Amino acid sequence: MEENLRIIISGGGTGGHIFPAVSIANAIKEQHPEAEILFVGAEGRMEMHRVPAAGYPIKGLPVAGFDRKNLLKNISVLYKLAKSQWKARKIIKEFRPHAAVGVGGYASGPTLKVAGMMGIPTLLQEQNSYAGVTNKLLAKKACKICVAYDGMERFFEKDKIILTGNPVRQGLLNHTISREEAIRSFGLNPEKKVVLILGGSLGARTINHCMMEGLEKIRTSGVQFIWQTGKIYIDEVRAAVAKAGELPMLHVTDFISDMASAYSAADLVISRAGAGSISEFCLLQKPVILVPSPNVAEDHQTKNALALVNKNAALYIKDAAAKEALLDKAIETVQHPELLKSLSTNIAKLAFTDSANVIAREVYELADDYRKRNEC
Ligand SMILES: CC(=O)N[C@H]1[C@@H](OP(=O)(O)OP(=O)(O)OC[C@H]2O[C@@H](n3ccc(=O)[nH]c3=O)[C@H](O)[C@@H]2O)O[C@H](CO)[C@@H](O)[C@@H]1O
């Protein structure tokens, strides 16, 4: 009898890596309900609670990222890496996967490296338009590399690349909540325009500061805001908002669990330019002002943003200019229906509608082939 399909999915650190991983897992389960899926993440990181919440088991590695500023600290990082590789080997030996998927982030390094060394086929999913270090290192041994942007042959062998787009959580597309219901669910008024402020899965300092400094402008703008601050900024923001007094046009939260409602409510989005968020804006046709984070490796968010801006599919404000320009731009844009319409039409053209399913099929091909070759 044929063995059940067993797949390892590894990576994480931020929502940008975790949510695509969960979408791929969901698509594999939908296509092959008997499949067994095990996640491998980094101890103490977001995936260790987000993945079980999505219904999948996860094992943690003691892995940490290299410190690009303080080289001395990297001695303990190297020790943790060696320990993680040892642990990854143990996990792989016990679980005996037929394929391993890496979505970027710390844990995927040791897991996919060991899987490759043990002869297990590996597939990488690169979310950004500028490849991450981990994926670049793992690419040599990878069988397939699923990407979301053109031109990725700068980083990876052309023959391995498959242009699939980034998987987006299934619930974001299949919801039925109306704009009105959604706005009410945030305690706001459906008759007024709504701007959704997103700082990526962790929150964005610059965007939060623009908002905190602009509370009086917000009060008189005639516009409403749903403001996701990120966990580490929420106390500071709450204190600033409390000091400013009643602001009924503002809904503040550290993290939005119901993103389907947030998108449905939003006439305009202000956001960092994380690849996962961008894929969602494309699929949901959201007009957006992108403020790329200047604090990410190789400035990859600016590259993500420009891929849209060059096609008139998004507006763009540099982090350094945000303080001066962001709020005014948002208040002006959201009251400009033609501009919103044209941004929405142009961003929709960049959407990949079936990414998770396409990737799931690629994973299955690799795994099934390996399973057949290794049948006793
Ligand atoms: C600081 C950092 O390193 N950011 C990187 C990280 O971004 P980050 O983790 O911020 O990820 P993305 O912007 O790609 O995705 C954020 C995800 O979080 C969800 N979300 C966000 C806010 C919220 O309140 N609720 C919620 O569910 C969004 O719907 C989206 O699915 O991974 C991305 C994908 O590799 C990279 O492009 C980013 O540069």
* Per-domain boundaries in the chain: 6-166+353-373, 171-348
Q: Higher model confidence: residue 73 or residue 365? A: 365
Q: Is the pLDDT of residue 56 over 90?
A: yes
Q: Please give the Cα distance from 293 to 314 (Å, whole number).
A: 16
Please spell the DSSP secondary structure of 299-357, one letter per residue: GHHHHHHHHHHTTTSSEE--HHHHHHHHHHHHHHHTT-HHHHHHHHHHHHTT--SSHHH
pLDDT of res. 166? 96
Pocket lining: 263 vs ligand 1, CB cutoff 6 Å:
no
Which pLDDT does position 2 carry in this prediction?
A: 80
**φ, ψ at 7 (rounded to 5°):** -125, 135
SS3 state at 8: strand
Q: What is the pTM of this model?
A: 0.89
Q: Is 271 annotated as a binding residue?
A: no
**Residue 83's pLDDT band (boundaries 50, 70, 90)?**
very high
Give me the CATH code for the 6-166+353-373 domain, please.
3.40.50.2000
% of the chain residues with pLDDT over 70: 99
By most ligand atoms within 8 Å of CB, the mutation choice from 68, 201, 228, 308 for ligand 1 is 201
How far is the first Cα of the chain from the last one, in angstroms, to the nearest whole number?
Answer: 10
Handedness of CA 130, 165, 277, 99 (dihedral sign): negative
Distance 258 CA to ligand 1 centre (A): 15
Confirm whether residue 15 is marked as ligand binding.
yes
Q: Tell me the longest C-alpha to C-alpha distance in the chain.
A: 72
Place of tokens 């990297």: 74
Q: Is 41 annotated to bind ligand?
A: no
Q: Residues 155, 159, 160, 165: is their CA dihedral positive or negative?
A: positive
Q: What is the residue with the minimal CA distance to atom 11 of ligand 1? A: 16
**CATH code of domain 171-348:** 3.40.50.2000
Q: Render pLDDT for 12-53 as a digit per residue (tens, 0 to 9).
A: 888 889 999 999 999 999 999 999 999 999 999 999 999 999
With a pLDDT cut of 90, the percent of the chain lying above it is: 85
Rounded Cα–Cα distance for residues 144 and 361 (Å)? 12
Which pLDDT value is given to residue 128? 92
CA of 15 to the centre of ligand 1 (A): 5
Our answer on whether the CB atom of 12 is closer than 6 Å to any ligand 1 atom is no
Whether 1 shows a pLDDT value over 80: the answer reads: no
| Structure tokens belonging to residue 237 | 């923001």
Torsion angle (degrees, nearest 10) of CA 47, 48, 53, 58 = 100
The partner residues of 270 in beta bridges, in order of sequence, read 197, 289
Residue 376 pLDDT grade (very low, low, confident, very high; cuts 50, 70, 90):
low
The Å distance, Cα 151 to ligand 1 centre, comes to 22
Q: What is the mean pLDDT of the chain?
A: 94
pLDDT at 76: 84
> Is residue 144 a contact partner of residue 24, using CB atoms and an 8 Å limit?
no
Q: What is the mean pLDDT of residues 334-346?
A: 98
Residue 243 pLDDT level (bands cut at 50, 70, 90)? very high
Q: Is the pLDDT of residue 73 over 80?
A: no
Could you tell me which of 47, 85, 80, 36 has the C-alpha nearest to residue 62? Answer: 80
Burial of 359 (0-12, 13-18, 19+ CB in 10 A): buried
pLDDT at 201: 84
Annotated binding-site residue? 65: no
CA separation for the pair 264, 272 (Å, rounded): 19
Measure the CA–CA gap between 61 and 47, rounded to whole angstroms. 11
Cα separation values, 338 from 132, 330, 333, 345, Å: 37, 14, 9, 11
User: Structure tokens of 68?
Assistant: 């690009």
Render pLDDT for 117-156 as a digit per residue (tens, 0 to 9). 999 999 999 999 889 888 999 999 999 999 999 899 999 9
Q: How far apart are CA 176 and CA 183, in angstroms?
A: 14
Atom 8, ligand 1: residue with shortest CA distance? 16
What's the pLDDT score for residue 364? 98
Nearest residue by C-alpha to atom 10 in ligand 1: 200
171-348 matches 6-166+353-373 in CATH topology = yes
**Which of 352, 374, 204 has its CA nearest to residue 273?**
204
Query: Residue 298 gets which letter from DSSP?
Result: G
Q: Which residues of 247-284 are buried (b: 16+ CB within 10 A; e: fewer)?
A: bebbbbbbebebbbbbbbbbbbbbbbbbbbbbbbbbbb
C-alpha distances out from residue 273 to 23, 174, 317, 333, Å = 20, 24, 11, 18
Query: Does any ligand 1 atom lie closer than 6 A to the CB of residue 228?
Result: yes
d(CA 106, CA 18): 12
* Rounded CA separation 291/206 (Å): 9
CA distance 57 to 84: 18
Residues 244-276: tens digit of each pLDDT:
999 999 999 999 999 999 999 999 999 999 999
Write down the pLDDT at residue 78: 87
